[in-house]
Amino acid sequence: MSTLLIGIAPEHAAGLVAGLLTLVVGAMWPGGSPSLVDKWARALLAFSGALHLFLPFGHPAGALMVSGYVLSGLAFLVLAWRAHVGRGWRIGTAILAPVTVVAYLINGEDPDQVGILTMLLELTAFGLAVATTRRVGRVFGSVATVFTVFLAGAVVWIASFVAHQATSADSQNPSVGHSHEGEHEHLARAQAGVIMRPLPSHHATPAEVSASIDLAAATSRGVKRFARLEDALAAGYQFNFGQDKGLNVHLEHKEYKKDGRALDPEKPESLVYVIEDGKATLLGVVYVMEKAGDPGLAPGGPITRWHAHNLCVSIMPPGLGIVTPYGGCPAFSVQITISEMMHVWVVDPPGGPFAENIPDEWARSYHREHGLPS
C-alpha cells in the first residue's frame, strides 16, 4: 500500500480525489444514453475533466498552465455531458484526448502515477471514440488505439529513465525528476523500473554532508583490497548472471547479502568493475538492503539516496525486463521488486561518489589509464 501512495504526487491528490468522486457520482446519475459505450465514455471523460479542473489546487502552476487545465477540464466535461445524453462526443474526444496527452509530453509535465493513469484513461476514451464506429474505420481506429497507448507509454518510460540518469549530474542535489521549479519529483513517482522513496528534504544538512563524505571515504578504504579482480573472486564475490565482461560488471557476495549488516564498508554486498581488454578496474560498490521493502539507511540524507527496481521475470522464455509505466509485464512474467540499493563509487566520477551511474565514455577512459591485469 505504501508504494501505491508513493506513486501519487501530493500536488495531484486533489485532482485524483475529484476524478474518483466524479466516477461515483456519474455512476449514480439518473437517465442518459442506454449505450454502454456512451456510459464508459462519460465516465472516463468526466474523470479527466474533474481531475484537470482540480489540478490547480495545490499545484504551483503559472497562469497559462492553470488556464490550460481549466479549459481542457471544461472541454472534457462538455464531452462527458454529450456522451451522457447520447449526443456526438466521438470527434471531440478523438481530437482532445491525444492533444492533451501530447501537451503533457511536450510541456515537460513530468508524470507521476496519477498523470500516467489519467493519460491511459484518456487514451481509452480515445479508443472508444475511434474503434467502436465504422465512421472512422474500426481497423484504423483499433491500430491507432494500440499505437497511441504504446507510444505514450514509451515516451513516459524514456523520460523517467533519462531523469533517473540525470541524478549523476549533481550529487549534492539529487533531484530526480524535478519539475515545476524543483517542487516535484514526479518522475521518481512513475515507478516504471525504478522505485524511490520521496525525500523529506532536497537539501542536505551540514551533518548529512559530513556523514556522506565519511561513508565515501570508508568505502574507498574498505574495498581497496579488491582493486584486483582475482582478490574479489577469492573473497567469495561471484559474477552476476555470469556476465564477466563489460563496462558495468557486477559481482555479488551471497554471504554478505544475508549477514544482517547494512552499509558495511568492509563487506559491501556487490562490487562494480570495468572488465575489458584483459584488464579490470574497480569502480565502486553497491550496498543492498537484506530484506526487500526495507528502507535503506541514509546517513547522508538526500545525498545517500537509495533506489529499488521493479522487474519482470519472464518464465516462458526465461528472461528479465522492467515494469512499464502502466504497471505491466510481458506475458507469463512475474512482477517483483528487489531490495533497495545504493551505488558508492571509489573512483571520483562525474557527479561524485553517490552518482546513480557512471558515463560509459568516462568509465572506458578511466579503465584505459588505471586498469589492472586480470
Partner 1 sequence: MDTTSKASVVFVLLLVQAGTILLATIGELLFMGGLPFYLIVPVIRVTLLLFFGVMMLRGSRTGLVGIIVLQALSLAGLMFSIGVGLLPQVDFTLTLTGLATTVVLPIVAGFYCVQMLLGVRREPRPSALGAQAGPPDPTLPLAPQPISGGRA
User: 249 pairs with which residues across the strands?
Assistant: 273
Nearest-angstrom CA–CA distance, 15 and 36: 25
**For the window 293-322, what string marks contact with partner 1 as x by the rule CB under 8 A?**
x--------------x-x-x-x-xx-xxxx
CB 132 within 8 A of CB 138: yes
- Give 113 or 220: the residue with its C-beta nearer to partner 1: 113
What are the backbone dihedrals phi and psi of residue 91, each rounded to the nearest 5 degrees, phi first?
-65, -45
By CB under 8 A, what part of segment 171-230 binds partner 1? Answer: 191, 193, 195
By CB under 8 A, what part of segment 269-298 binds partner 1? Answer: 290-293
Residues 25, 27, 28, CA angle at the centre, nearest 5°?
A: 65
C-alpha grid cell, residue 168:
549523476
By CB under 8 A, what part of segment 93-122 binds partner 1? Answer: 113-114, 116-117, 120-121
- Give 258 or 368: the residue with its C-beta nearer to partner 1: 258
As measured in angstroms, the least distance from the Cβ of 280 to partner 1 is: 22
As measured in angstroms, the least distance from the Cβ of 292 to partner 1 is: 4
C-alpha grid cell, residue 25:
457520482
C-alpha grid cell, residue 142:
483499433
Residue with cell 561513508: 215
Closest CA to 164 of 155, 173, 175, 153: 175
User: 319 pairs with which residues across the strands?
Assistant: 314
Closest CA to 52 of 96, 2, 86: 96
Alpha carbon separation from 216 to 196, 292, 329, 338 (Å, rounded): 21, 24, 36, 24
Q: Under the criterion CB under 8 A, does residue 32 sit at the interface with partner 1?
A: no
As measured in angstroms, the least distance from the Cβ of 63 to partner 1 is: 29
Total residue length of the chain: 374
Q: Where does this chain touch partner 1 (CB under 8 A) — which range of 87-95, 166-174, 205-213, 349-357?
A: 87-95
Among 172, 337, 357, 374, which residue sits at the site for partner 1 (rule: CB under 8 A)? Answer: 337
Q: Is 319 helix (H, G, I), strand (E, B) or coil?
A: strand
Q: Where does this chain touch partner 1 (CB under 8 A) — which range of 35-43, 49-57, 59-67, 213-221?
A: 35-43
- Give 106 or 134: the residue with its C-beta nearer to partner 1: 134
Among 21, 27, 71, 334, which residue sits at the site for partner 1 (rule: CB under 8 A)? Answer: 334
- Give 182 or 319: the residue with its C-beta nearer to partner 1: 319
- Give 120 or 282: the residue with its C-beta nearer to partner 1: 120
Q: Where does this chain touch partner 1 (CB under 8 A) — which range of 64-72, 124-132, 171-179, 197-205?
A: 124-132
Nearest-angstrom CA–CA distance, 95 and 322: 32
**For the window 125-164, what string marks contact with partner 1 as x by the rule CB under 8 A?**
--xx--xxxxxx-x---x--xxxxxx--xx--x-------
Among 38, 109, 252, 276, which residue sits at the site for partner 1 (rule: CB under 8 A)? Answer: 38
C-alpha grid cell, residue 90:
466521438
Compute the radius of gyration of the chain from its Cα atoms. 24
As measured in angstroms, the least distance from the Cβ of 60 to partner 1 is: 22
